[in-house]
Amino acid sequence: MNELRSRPAPLTFRALAAGHHNSYTHAQREGVSQIKQKEGTGIKRVNINVPTELHNSFKASTAARGLDMTVVLLEYIQSYVAKYGSTTPLKKGRLV
């Protein structure tokens, strides 16, 4: 019974989050890789919001055909630009 009293109380989640997380957080970040940017290739990254169901369907559809989502999107963008060109002046600011 004395053994139980001499042990420190286990840390709660709040206690862990309050300051005992440095080594764990660091260990998690070691495996995270950064997005590799190709220097000097003129590549621009585009982020878009897509409904989850549409994203999942698109991903499954491209994977079923052995295609990469990026390649399919690039082909679509190229065909769009070929069809409509870039002659229309764009308004400054964010389009909705």
Residue 69, in any domain of the structure: yes
- pTM over 0.75? The answer is no
pLDDT, position 14:
60
- Look up the domain containing 69 and give its range: 51-84
Predicted confidence (pLDDT) at residue 7 exceeds the cutoff of 60:
yes
Residue 68, in any domain of the structure: yes
Residue 30, in any domain of the structure: no
pLDDT tens sequence across 77-87: 999 999 988 77
pLDDT tens sequence across 28-78: 555 656 666 556 678 899 999 999 999 999 999 999 999 999 999 999 999
Residue 1, in any domain of the structure: no
Tokens 């989640």: give the residue.
Answer: 13
Q: Percentage helix, strand, coil, to 5, in the chain?
A: 50, 0, 50
Residue 35, in any domain of the structure: no
Q: Which residue has the higher pLDDT, 59 or 25?
A: 59
Question: With left for phi above 0 and alpha for psi between -120 and 50, is residue 93 left, alpha or beta?
Answer: left
Query: In Å, what is the CA distance from 5 to each residue of 2, 8, 13, 21?
Result: 5, 8, 21, 26
Residue 29, in any domain of the structure: no
Residue 66, in any domain of the structure: yes
Residue 70, in any domain of the structure: yes
Q: C-alpha angle with apex 76: 70 to 80, nearest 5 degrees? A: 145
Q: What whole-number distance in Å separates Cα of residue 19 and Cα of residue 11?
A: 11
pLDDT confidence bin for 20, thresholds 50/70/90 = low
Q: How many domains does the chain have?
A: 1
